[in-house]
């Protein structure tokens, strides 16, 4: 088992359909074709085991990534070489290698559906529809199998319950600009974390860049990834996480920390994490075997067990967590995000650096 090395086309997800698809992920599957067992594609396991290794580039939280890698190794005997970093950092490395004519990753998992759609259009992935492809809702996968959602990411506001009194807890994104929260806020960097790119791109369009200027005036701390956000709260350096991955809050609660999640009244983000088999990779059969394993019940149960959300329609939310159907969901225009990604990062950096 390797450990973390750095912490450093058509399927365009439209605004309205994204909400419907993520409602389906909560257990109310609203349509789409069912893939019969006879139609499901299977990996050549004999060849996969001969290859013996799969190289996985991923932004999956490190503990979950290690669990999935370990389960796959135990089940198949195929070694997982893991490179884990933030979603934007993963994509930068992947594209740099592609530009140099080098394909190192067999399987790519990020949390950027917009970028995954573009890469699918460019033919960078191998279409693959393994068993249980039909258990993933339409808006959490490419219809041709170029990518499949590994999990659903809920992006919320969470905070130290022992330090922020109940009456003082923000209930909306706009509440965070109140001066009473000055020096208490921490947020990830969209240049490092692709989930935050979706949040910043959407909220800057919805609320304007003045919203982020007001957060800057409130002395918000910018860190690279969600683990740093979690660590900051646990150390008490900051008290409120702004637009952070809620599975970290759940994990901290499970570890005994007093962490309270607020699902904002003006909307929670629910974003799938695409997993794709990379075209021309060194271990193509092991790649398919790992991608198929990723959406198996055994693998998918890892996420709710850790306080996160499975991408499958037939797996319940984490204990104590709301169903997606119970939330107000902020739709994300992934097609528009991809076109504006560089501009969003530059505008953010102009404010905070």
- Tell me the C-alpha distance between 111 and 275, whole Å: 9
Domain boundaries, given as residue ranges, for the chain = 15-152+273-319, 155-269+334-352
* Averaged pLDDT score across all residues of the chain: 89
Secondary structure (3-state) at 120? helix
pLDDT grade for 132, boundaries at 50, 70 and 90: very high
Q: What integer pLDDT is reported at residue 346 of this predicted model?
A: 97
Query: What's the alpha-carbon Rg for the chain, to the nearest Å?
Result: 19
Does 155-269+334-352 match 15-152+273-319 at the fold level?
A: yes
Q: Is the pLDDT of residue 4 over 80?
A: no
Tell me the C-alpha to C-alpha distance, in Å, between residue 178 and each of 36, 84, 208, 350.
Answer: 53, 36, 16, 22
pLDDT grade for 338, boundaries at 50, 70 and 90: confident
CATH number assigned to the domain with residue range 155-269+334-352, chosen from the 4 options 3.90.340.10, 3.30.1300.10, 3.40.190.10, 3.40.50.150: 3.40.190.10
pLDDT tens-place string over residues 95-121: 999 999 999 999 999 989 999 999 999
- Tell me the C-alpha distance between 154 and 5, whole Å: 25
Of 65, 61, 48, which Cα lies nearest the Cα of 2? 65
CATH 3.30.1490.190 for domain 15-152+273-319, yes or no, is: no
Secondary structure (3-state) at 79? strand
Model pTM score: 0.84
- Tell me the C-alpha distance between 310 and 304, whole Å: 6
pLDDT tens-place string over residues 7-58: 333 333 333 344 334 444 443 333 333 444 446 799 999 999 999 999 999 9
Of 121, 85, 136, which Cα lies nearest the Cα of 309? 136
Q: Is the pLDDT of residue 208 over 80?
A: yes
Q: What integer pLDDT is reported at residue 56 of this predicted model?
A: 98
How confident is the model over 156-173, as a mean pLDDT?
98
pLDDT tens-place string over residues 265-279: 999 999 999 999 999
Q: What integer pLDDT is reported at residue 230 of this predicted model?
A: 97
Q: What integer pLDDT is reported at residue 144 of this predicted model?
A: 95
């Amino acid at each position: 088992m390797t450990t973390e090395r750095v912490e450093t086309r058509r399927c365009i997800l439209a605004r309205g359909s994204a909400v419907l698809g993520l409602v389906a992920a909560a257990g109310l599957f609203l349509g789409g074709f069912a893939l019969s067992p006879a139609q499901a594609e299977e990996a050549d396991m004999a060849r996969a085991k001969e290859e013996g290794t799969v190289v996985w580039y991923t932004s999956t939280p490190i503990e979950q990534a290690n669990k999935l890698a370990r389960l796959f190794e135990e089940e198949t005997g195929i070694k997982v070489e893991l490179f884990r970093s933030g979603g934007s950092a993963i994509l930068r490395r992947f594209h740099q290698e592609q530009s140099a004519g080098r394909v190192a990753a067999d399987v790519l998992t990020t949390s950027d559906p917009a970028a995954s759609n573009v890469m699918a259009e460019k033919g960078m992935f191998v279409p693959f529809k393994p068993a249980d492809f039909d258990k993933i809702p339409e808006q959490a996968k490419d219809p041709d199998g170029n990518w499949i959602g590994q999990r659903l990411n809920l992006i919320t506001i969470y905070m130290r319950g022992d330090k922020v009194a109940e009456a003082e807890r923000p209930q909306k994104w706009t509440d965070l600009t109140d001066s009473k929260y000055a020096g208490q806020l921490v947020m990830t960097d969209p240049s490092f974390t692709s989930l935050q790119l979706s949040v910043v791109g959407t909220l800057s369009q919805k609320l304007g860049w003045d919203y982020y200027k007001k957060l800057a005036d409130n002395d918000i701390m910018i860190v690279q990834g969600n683990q740093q956000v979690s660590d900051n709260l646990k150390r008490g350096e900051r008290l409120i996480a702004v637009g952070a991955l809620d599975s970290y809050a759940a994990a901290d609660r499970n570890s005994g920390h007093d962490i309270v999640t607020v699902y904002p009244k003006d909307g929670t983000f629910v974003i799938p994490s695409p997993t794709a088999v990379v075209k021309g990779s060194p271990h193509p059969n092991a790649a398919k075997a790992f991608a198929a394993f990723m959406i198996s019940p055994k693998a998918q149960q890892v996420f709710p067990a850790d306080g996160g959300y499975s991408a499958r329609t037939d797996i319940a939310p984490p204990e104590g967590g709301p169903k997606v159907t119970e939330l107000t969901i902020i739709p994300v225009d992934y097609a528009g995000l991809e076109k504006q990604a560089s501009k969003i990062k530059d505008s953010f950096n102009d404010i905070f650096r």
